[in-house]
């Protein structure tokens, strides 16, 4: 089952400047930065809230590290802005993806891949989702707090 908005992915040209904007403007100070080579991004996860059970939501700021990465391609075409939404699953993301594929929506990867903070992720094609690139996220058992 999809149980929450895990994160909103936002494409940007300058990760530090964009993190700084969110920190100064909204006071989002819980920031986790990592590189995901496979996805071609350097990214920052900004924790927005937590219900206390670990089901926090995040902003994911994405700066491309390669010109041929999906985020670089998207930025060149659209400029900075909202790139995708991500729903969190309460079970196995592979099962969730298979169920959605059975409803005729294209799932981009045959097997889940590594996402932020040890999560397992997959994507649904935006053309099958009314124009929204949609990510499915199964969080790691233990997500870092900061």
Which residues contribute to the site for ligand CMX (CB under 6 A)? 9, 36, 39, 41, 60, 62, 70-71, 73-74, 77, 83-84, 108, 115-116, 121, 123, 125-127, 131, 133, 135
Nearest alpha-carbon partner for 9 in 81, 84, 78, 65: 84
DSSP for 53-87? SS--EEEEEEEESSTTSHHHHHHHHH-SEEEEEEE
Q: Tell me which of Co ion, ligand CMX, none is bound by residue 71, counting a contact when its beta carbon lies within the kind-specific cut-off of 5 to 8 angstroms.
A: ligand CMX
* 74, 92 contact by CB (below 8 A): no
One residue of 135, 136, 138, 143 binding Co ion per CB under 5 A: 135
User: CA–CA separation, 127 vs 136, rounded Å?
Assistant: 16
Size of the site for Co ion (CB under 5 A): 4
Residues that bind Co ion (CB under 5 A): 9, 60, 86, 135
* Catalytic positions: 7, 43, 60, 84, 135
């Amino acid at each position: 089952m999809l149980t929450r908005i895990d994160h909103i992915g936002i494409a940007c040209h300058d990760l530090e400047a964009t993190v700084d904007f969110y920190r100064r403007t909204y006071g989002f100070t819980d920031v986790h930065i990592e590189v995901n080579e496979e996805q071609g991004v350097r990214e920052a996860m900004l924790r927005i809230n937590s219900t206390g059970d670990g089901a926090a939501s995040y902003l994911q700021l994405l700066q491309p590290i390669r010109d041929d990465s999906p985020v670089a391609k998207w930025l060149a075409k659209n400029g900075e802005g909202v790139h995708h939404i991500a729903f969190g699953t309460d079970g196995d993301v592979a099962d969730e993806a298979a169920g959605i594929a059975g409803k005729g929506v294209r799932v981009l990867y045959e097997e889940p891949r590594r996402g932020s903070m040890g999560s397992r992720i997959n994507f649904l094609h935006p053309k099958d989702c009314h124009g929204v690139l949609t990510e499915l996220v199964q969080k790691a058992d233990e997500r870092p707090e900061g």
